[in-house]
Amino acid sequence: MNEQESISYLTQQQAAEIDDLLMGNLGFSIDQLMELAGLSVASAVAEVYKPSEYNRVLVICGPGNNGGDGLVAARHLHHFGYKPSIWYPKRTPKPLYAGLVTQLESLSVPFISIDSLPQEFLNFDIIVDAIFGFSFQGNPRPPFDDLIMSMASLSAHYPEHQKSPVIVSVDIPSGWHVEDGDRSGDGTRPDMLVSLTAPKLCARTFSGRYHFLGGRFVPPSVMQKYKLRLPKYPGTAMCVQIGNSCQIKVEDPVPAKFLQKNVEADPFLQFQKWFDDAVATGLKDPDAMALSTANKDGKPCVSPILLSFFLLQIIIGQNSSRMVQLKKVDREGFVWCSNYGSRKGHEIAENPHASLLFYWNTLNRQDLTIEA
Ligand SMILES: NC(=O)C1=CN([C@@H]2O[C@H](COP(=O)(O)OP(=O)(O)OC[C@H]3O[C@@H](n4cnc5c(N)ncnc54)[C@H](OP(=O)(O)O)[C@@H]3O)[C@@H](O)[C@H]2O)[C@H](O)CC1
Ligand SMILES: [K+]
C-alpha cells in the first residue's frame, strides 16, 4: 500500500460534519479554525515558493469560509515577506470577514478591482485559489465562472518562455466536484493543493506537484470517530507534505516524469523545479554538489579523501572532484565560489569542461549530472 492509499479522504458530508463537531461540542470558534487554516496555507506556500523568487501573490477569495482562509493566508504571507494582493468580489457581511479585511487594509495590502482580472494574472508569481471549498455545489456561478475558466487555461494559455503563475488551491481546486474531482477534465490544475483537516475525496485525483495537509487542530475524538489516517506533523510545523510528489516507481523503465513531454524544454527551468523539490522535501544541503574538472591532458587526479565517493567518475570521467556549494543558477549558468589559484581554478582555466553532480537520494534523483 503506498502512502496515498493509506491516507483517509473525506466525503463532502463528513467534512461538513467535522466542521460542525469542532465548532459544537469541541469548543472551537470559526475564527480560530480559520486562523489556523490560513496559517497552514501560508506555511505550505513558504515551504516551497521562496519570497525572493515568488514575491507577488494574488489571493482570490470566494464568498464562504474558503475565502476567509484566503484572507488569513494573505495576512500571514505579508508577514512572511510576500507582496499579496486580494481579489474579493463578493464580500461576506459578517464581522469576522470585515475584521479580516480591515487587518489587511491596515497592512496596506491592496484589494484589486473586480474588472482587472484575468488580464492581470501575469503580474503575479503565485495565485492562491481560495474561491470555493468543501461546500461547493453544481457549476460555478458569476462572477467566479469566467475567472475559474481563465485560471484553468493559465498553463495552456501562455507561451512556454513566459512564466505563468503557479496556482495554490486551498482545500479544493475551485470548480472541481468535492468528491469526483475535475469532472470535465478541463478544470483548474493547481501546482499545489493544501487540504485542510483531511483531504476530501477529490484530492485522490490531484496530480500537481505538491500536496500538503494543514489544519493542525484535529482532536483524537475526531480522528477515532472518522478512523482518520493522516501523516504526522513534524515538530512545530503547521503543514505537512502528503506523499512525495517526486516519487518514481522503480519498476518504470522510463518514469513518466522524465518523459520528454513532461519535462521543461528549458533545462535551467527544469533544474530549478527539481531544486525546489529538493528544498521542499527538507533534504540536507540540497545545494551541495560535486564539481569535477580535468587538467588539459584530461588526466585523472582525484584526491585520496574523495576517492571512494567518486570511484565511478574516476573510471569513466578522468576527473578531479570536490564538493562545492551552489550559490546561484540562472540562464548564465551555475555559480559557486572558489579561488582562481585553487586546483579547480587552474583546471578550468586550461580545460573548460566540467560536470556537476547532485546527490538528492530521497528524491530518486541521486545522480543528477550537469555537464558543460
Ligand atoms: N474544518 C476545517 O477544515 C475548516 C475549513 N475551513 C474552510 O472552510 C471551507 C468550507 O467553507 P464553507 O463556507 O462551508 O464553504 P465554501 O467556502 O466552499 O463556500 C460556500 C459559498 O460558496 C457559494 N457557492 C457554492 N457553490 C457555488 C457555485 N456553484 N457557484 C457560486 N457560488 C457557490 C455558496 O453560496 P450559496 O449561495 O450556494 O450558499 C457559499 O456562499 C473549507 O473548504 C475550508 O477551506 C474553515 O476556514 C475552518 C475550518
Ligand atoms: K479553493
Please give the ipTM for the structure prediction.
0.98
Q: Which three cell numbers stand for residue 330?
A: 540562472
In this predicted structure, what is the pLDDT of residue 254?
Answer: 46
Give the residue, by CA position, lying nearest to ligand 1 atom 21. 64
pLDDT recorded at residue 303: 45
Binding-site members are 65-69, 129, 133-139, 171, 174
Residue 75: φ, ψ to 5°: -65, -45
| Alpha carbon of residue 164 to chain centroid | 14
Would you say 268 and 356 are in contact if contact means Cβ atoms under 8 Å apart?
A: no
- The alpha carbon of 112 is separated from its chain's Cα centroid by a whole number of angstroms, namely 25
Question: Cα of 92 to ligand 1 centre, how many Å?
Answer: 11
How far away, in angstroms, is 35 Cα from ligand 1 center? 16
Instruction: Please count the CA atoms within 13 angstroms of the CA of 150 that sit on its side-chain side.
Output: 17
- Residue 180 to residue 203: CA distance in whole angstroms: 9
Rounded to 10 deg, the angle between the 267-280 and 30-48 helix axes is 130
Find the ligand nearest to 37 CA.
1
Q: Which of the listed ranges 82-86, 295-299, 325-329 does the model predict with the highest average pLDDT? A: 82-86
- Centre of ligand 2 from the C-alpha of residue 93, in Å: 20
- Which ligand ends up closest to the CA of 222? 1
User: Which residue from 82, 33, 23 is spatially nearest to 214, judged by alpha carbons?
Assistant: 33
Q: Whose CA is nearest to atom 49 of ligand 1?
A: 33
Class of domain 4-241: alpha beta
CB atoms within 10 A of CB 358: 24
| Pocket of ligand 1 from Cβ distances under 6 Å | 18-19, 22, 33-34, 37, 62-66, 68-69, 132-141, 144, 170-172, 196-197, 215
Q: Which atom of ligand 1 is nearest to the CA of 200?
A: 43
pLDDT tens string 260-285: 655 777 777 778 877 777 776 667 78
Summarised one tens digit per residue, pLDDT across range 167-181 is 999 999 999 999 999
**Distance between CA atoms of 364 and 278, rounded to whole angstroms?**
10
Q: What is the pLDDT of residues 326-345, one digit of tens each?
A: 888 887 788 888 877 888 87
What is the number of H-type helices and E-type strands within the chain? 11, 13
- Identify which of 32, 65, 178 to mutate to test ligand 1's pocket (most ligand atoms within 8 A of the CB): 65
In angstroms, the CA 177 to CA 210 distance is: 20
Report yes or no: 233 and 352 within 8 Å, Cβ to Cβ.
no
Q: Which ligand is nearest to the CA of 219?
A: 1
Q: Domain extents for the chain?
A: 4-241, 260-371
- Homologous superfamily (CATH) of 260-371 is Electron Transport, Fmn-binding Protein; Chain A (2.30.110.10)
Residue with the smallest CA separation from ligand 1 atom 20 is 64
Ligand 1 atom 47 nearest Cα: 34
Query: Which atom of ligand 1 is found nearest the CA of 33?
Result: 48
pTM exceeding the 0.95 threshold for the entire prediction: no
Closest CA to 370 of 292, 294, 315, 298: 292
For every residue of 116-137, DSSP letters joined together read GTTTTGGG-SEEEEES--TT--
Residues 6+ apart with CB under 8 A from 89: 114, 143, 144
